[in-house]
Structures are given as structure tokens and as C-alpha cells.
Structure 1
Amino acid sequence: MDIKDPLVNRGADTIISSVQNPRIKQWTELQSRKGREKQGRFLIEGIHLVQEALRSDLIPEVVAYSDERAEACADLLQEAAERGMELVQVTEAVLAKCTDTQTPQPVFAVVPKLPWRAADLISASEQDGLVVVIDGIQDPGNLGTIIRSADAVGASGVLLGKGTVDLYNPKTVRSTMGSLFHLPIVQGDLAQWLPEAASRGIQVAATRLEDAVSLYDYDFRRPTWFVIGNEGQGVSAEVQQLVQCHVRIPMQGRAESLNAAMAATVVLFEAMRQRGFKPNNNS
């Protein structure tokens, strides 16, 4: 595809080359949590993430791409143009200013924040839903991995409690590998929503070493909200009071524990197994 193609440039005759451009300043603000909260938007970087956004219900507001590397993302730009996206050419200097990585990808997009609400998770859980509840995870990579695992097992959604790392942190967004576009992810007060879930007949469980049943003896076939706690402290004392049952992950080796993302993944795949996972030809 020719980068001069009017379908791509939509009539634009110039390239944004100044980092002082008002739009560039606005996009640069999205690197901070304050800026993201102010604008209600976040930035995604790279061909894969932009493709995932284009194919979701959360349509990007604008797609910006390198004037020097347009051919590297030609198919993506064509798809975006055909869907009526605003496409903006920028220089490499502008690309570096707007993005978070040391070696910027050739394309980024500005996307509105996810529209989901905690009440949506209640509705999705009342039949046989499986929701991952996050209580204070601090590492962006851990949160992103948990979201990917939730997506992989077909979970109903993810609820992020207070004190959890920002979902829209660039490192979190990258580590989800696009899974944040595949299932509802919401922020909410666990003190409000865990009791609400329990009142609707949804079982609320969490991991703990003491006074806990084996993961493999717990019934995940029922509607379940499962709480994963902070990397160092685990589930907070306040949230533990709202949990109905505690489970532990049996281990035969000498390791005392798993990190939060690994523990969540083990739990989620056991839940999927119990719920009658049937391999298909793509598995």
C-alpha cells in the first residue's frame, strides 16, 4: 500500500513533526495516570494491540503511524481507513515522545477507556460466571498476565479493587497482549461488590495457606468470584472477612508459594477443567 494513498491519509497533506503540537501534547499526557483520568482515554502501542482494538467494540479515536515505517503496518492502516478511523502521520521523534517503549513501534492508537461497570459482572455471573477479583496487585506485568489467563479460560470478567495498579498503565496494557479488549474489566470497591455478589448466590473464594481446602476439592462449577491478593501481603484482612471459602494450591516441591500471576493462572485453569473444558482442533 502506498503511504500517499488518499484512503490512508484522508486528504492530509502534512505530517505532524513538532512535539509542541497541541495534539501531541494531549497524547503525551496519556503516559500518566492523571492524564488518562483527565481525558478518559489511554494509548496503545504496536500493530498487535491496535489490531485487537480495531476488532473489538472499543473503537480507537485516532491511529497515528510513523511517516518512515508506514509500510510495516500497511494492512492495519488499510483496515483502519476502511472503518473510517482518523489516521495521522507523525515523525519518529513525535512517535518516541508519545509512546512508552525505548524502541517505539511504528503505530499507536488513542482509545476511550473501557465502558464496563461492576454491575455488568454481577449480571454475567449469576448463571455460571467466573470472575477474577484483584485485591491490590502492584506489578503491571502480573496484572496483565492475570487478565490474559482470565481471557484464556473464558472467564466472565475481572474486577479491580482499590490499591491495584492502573489497568491503563502502558506496561499493563502491553502485558495483556490485547486481552483487555476481550472481556469486561472494571474497577470497583470490593467492600461493596463482594457482598453484593454473595447476596446473588455467587460464591466468593480466595487463596490462603491456613484453614483452606485443596484447590482440587473446591467446586468451581458454581458461579464464582475468586480473589487474588497483593504480591507480598496476599489478600487484605478487610477483604478476607468478605470471603466465604479459602483454597490452597497443593505443591509437592520445596517452593513455599507461587507469585500472584502464577497462582491465579493455576486456579483459573482448574476452574476451566472442572467446568468441562472440551479440547477442539485448535487446542
Structure 2
Amino acid sequence: MRKFEGYISSASNPRAKEWAKLLERKYRDREGKFLLEGIHLVKEALNAEWPLEIVAFDEGSGVLDAFEEYLDGDRKDGPSWIPVSPEVIMKCSETGTPQPIFAVALKRPPTKESLFAGELGGIVAVLDGVQDPGNAGTLVRSAAASGATAVVLGKGTVDLYNPKTIRSTMGALFHVPVLEADLSLLLPEARAQGVAVVGTSLQAAQSCYDYDFRRGNIWLVFGNEGSGVSAEVTALVNANVIIPMSGRSESLNVAMAATVLLFEAQRQRRMP
């Protein structure tokens, strides 16, 4: 059975203060770490063998009953398990009623070069100024579920490691590489590498169902909730497509539109 570190009772404990700072982006960026809250996310990270520094849990909550398989044996690798008070849990959470367990995880972004490597060749989802954490997290989920090989977050897009974004991914960020980049620099490089960059626009003439997603590396660009793909990025795409709608609606939510396009690309690529 894995041994636990000493109990931390005070929210003023120096370690608890350091963990709580990760609720702010400037500290996440500086430390290269982020917080995972709740049973599901911590389990997903453990199953994916994501690098975790610590797992903190409310010793009196019984939450460890859900983690017996990760605590059995005499393994010396993996995170430190630290019992803490409910006050520490509350300090390190932004939700009103936090779950009794959280983890400090290390960032593990892919390299830019890996986006052009053979093992990541395929469909890549690109976010240009998507600002809502729920939309960004759902889009990462759809990318992972549809077999996309990576997600790129352009400038102006919400922080992937924002706790709300993390929750919205439902653990999908552990299953698809996610890279933050300047699209004005990355997209021209991608095109020079033979990537087809495809934008989404309500003014596009070509239906997404007529576009050929079956060949080569294709990057799908999804824009801001209100203004769509920026003019700067639009100038860098090879083609624009639209999702045809026969019903009465002005447009789709960006996460919904991305899901439609990602799964259409998956469908075409799996056709005989």
C-alpha cells in the first residue's frame, strides 16, 4: 500500500498556498503546472499516465475508495498522495462545492515540429480566438473523440488550463496533443509543409459535405463565437467551407459546428 505524506490542515500552509496560486494563469504559465479537480479528471490523468506532482484528498471523505487500484502495491513512482483538510480543498478550487480530491499536474504540450511529423499527420483542429471555456473544452473533447491528431490554440483563445476549460474537456486533453501557437506564424509554415488549411465561414460557397477530407494533412480552423475566423487568419486558409442548414437557425455554436466538421472528416476518412 502506498504511503501518504503528512496531513495538511491549514489553508495557510505554504504548500497549500502554492497550489492555490495555480488557479491564476500567470502562475500556471510560470510554473508549468495546472490543477485537476475531481474524481473523474484525476482518474483520467492517472490512467493516461500523465505526469502528476501530487494528489491531495480529504482524508475523512472516503474518496480514496475510488482509487484503490492506484494505491495497491509498493510502487515508488507516480505522484505523492497527501491528506488535506476540507479548508485546503476549498482554497484550491474555484467551485462552490468542490469534490474532495485534486491534483497538481505538469504541462506537457507537444512540440511544433511534431505537428508535421508522420505520426501526427491527419486532421488538426485549430482554434482562432475561441473565448468561452466551455466551447474550447468541448472542442478538445470532439477532437479527441473524432480521432483528430492534435489541437492548436491560437492567440486570443481561452487558456487550456483554465479550470473551467479543463472541466469541459472531461479528460480529453490527456488523449489528444494540444499546442498553443501564433497562427500568423504557424499556418504559413503548415501550408509550406503541404497542409491544407480549411476555414469555416457563413459566406463560404462550398459545403463541408462536398469537400474532400480523405487525403493528406488537413487543419480545420474554427473562429471566435461572435466574429468567426479573424481576417488575418482567413487570409491564410486554402479554402472555406460551410455547414448547410435546411432548418431555421442563423448559425451553430462553434463547438457544435466543430463537432459536425470533425466527424464528417472522420466519416470520409473511414469510407472504403
Alpha-carbon offset, residue 72 of structure 1: 2.5
Letter in 2 for 1:138: Q
Q: 2:257 aligns with which of 254, 258, 263?
A: 263
SS in 2 for 1:141: helix
SS in 2 for 1:58: coil
Q: For 1:55-66, what aligned pairs fall within 5 Å after superposition?
A: 55-66=47-58
Q: 1:73 aligns with which of 57, 60, 64?
A: 64
Counterpart-to-counterpart distance in 1, 2:79 and 2:68: 9
Alpha-carbon offset, residue 241 of structure 1: 0.3
Residue matched to 2:195: 202
Letter in 2 for 1:149: S
Work out whether residues 49 and 177 of structure 1, in 8 Å CA contact, stay in contact via their aligned partners in 2: yes
Residue matched to 1:112: 106
Counterpart-to-counterpart distance in 1, 2:271 and 2:146: 9
Work out whether residues 52 and 78 of structure 2, in 8 Å CA contact, stay in contact via their aligned partners in 1: no
Counterpart-to-counterpart distance in 1, 2:32 and 2:179: 14
Alpha-carbon offset, residue 106 of structure 1: 1.5
Q: For 1:180-259, what aligned pairs fall within 5 Å after superposition?
A: 180-222=173-215, 223-259=217-253
Alpha-carbon offset, residue 52 of structure 1: 1.1
The runs of at least 4 aligned residues of structure 1 exceeding 2 Å deviation read 7-10, 71-75, 80-85, 124-127
Q: For 1:106-185, what aligned pairs fall within 5 Å after superposition?
A: 106-124=100-118, 127=121, 129-185=122-178
Counterpart-to-counterpart distance in 2, 1:132 and 1:175: 16
Do the aligned partners of residues 134 and 80 (structure 1) sit closer, same or farther apart at CA in structure 2, a change above 3 Å counting? farther
Alpha-carbon offset, residue 199 of structure 1: 1.2
Residue matched to 1:95: 89
Gaps of 5+ in 2: none
The TM-score with structure 2 as length reference comes to 0.94
In angstroms, what is the RMSD of aligned CA positions?
1.7
Work out whether residues 63 and 101 of structure 2, in 8 Å CA contact, stay in contact via their aligned partners in 1: no
Letter in 2 for 1:123: A
Counterpart-to-counterpart distance in 1, 2:257 and 2:246: 15
Alpha-carbon offset, residue 93 of structure 1: 0.9
Residue matched to 1:40: 32
Residue identity (%):
52
Query: After superposition, what is the alpha-carbon deviation per residue over 1:205-249, rounded to whole angstroms, capped at 9, x for unaligned?
Result: 011122430010001112200000000000000000000100000
Counterpart-to-counterpart distance in 1, 2:259 and 2:67: 31
Residue matched to 1:17: 9
Do the aligned partners of residues 9 and 207 (structure 1) sit closer, same or farther apart at CA in structure 2, a change above 3 Å counting? same
Letter in 2 for 1:159: V
Work out whether residues 125 and 131 of structure 1, in 8 Å CA contact, stay in contact via their aligned partners in 2: no
Alpha-carbon offset, residue 251 of structure 1: 0.1
Work out whether residues 8 and 78 of structure 1, in 8 Å CA contact, stay in contact via their aligned partners in 2: no
